[in-house]
Amino acid sequence: MAGTVQFDLVSPEKRLASLKAIEVQIPGADGDLTAMEGHAPTITTLRPGILKAIGADVTKAFAVTGGFAEITAAGVSVLAERAIPVDDLSGTVMDELVAEARSLAEVALPEDKDAAEKMVQDMMAIRHHAAQ
């Protein structure tokens, strides 16, 4: 069996998950990545997307809106701006997240417009994933 890493996910409100994972799939700002035992130390910014921790007996998936992930050889710690278990996503919650992203994009400075529009597209992708 593959080795495991300690996975911890927290948001400003509470701890959302703590488990031994075989792999953690992370929506990094510079691209998706998978962390496993022995991973090189890395810190990455999160983009809106689906974060998955895959354990031997369970997979936990969360929609995240942003934050940071710190990866070491033995663990993955994620501090999410907002994280919602995929099982708890409803059309209403997703509509609120997309509307919030659109509002932020409307008031973004000209030099931030591309990043703001990308955030809206990422939120739309989460909505599509949640609808499946």
CATH for the 5-85 domain, from 1.10.287.110, 3.20.20.210, 2.60.15.10, 2.30.42.10: 2.60.15.10
Two structure tokens written together for 130: 């949640």
Q: Where are the domains of the chain?
A: 5-85, 89-131
Average pLDDT estimate for 97-115: 72
Q: What is the largest CA-CA distance in the chain?
A: 50
C-alpha to C-alpha distance for 5 and 22, rounded to whole angstroms: 6
Give me the count of residues in the chain. Answer: 132
**pTM exceeding the 0.85 threshold for the entire prediction:** no
Confidence of residue 78 (pLDDT cuts 50, 70, 90): very high
C-alpha to C-alpha distance for 72 and 96, rounded to whole angstroms: 34
Two structure tokens written together for 56: 């031997």
pLDDT single digits (tens) 14-45: 999 999 999 999 999 899 999 999 999 999 99
- Give the angle 105-65-4 at the CA atoms, nearest 5°: 155
Q: Is the pLDDT of residue 90 over 70?
A: no
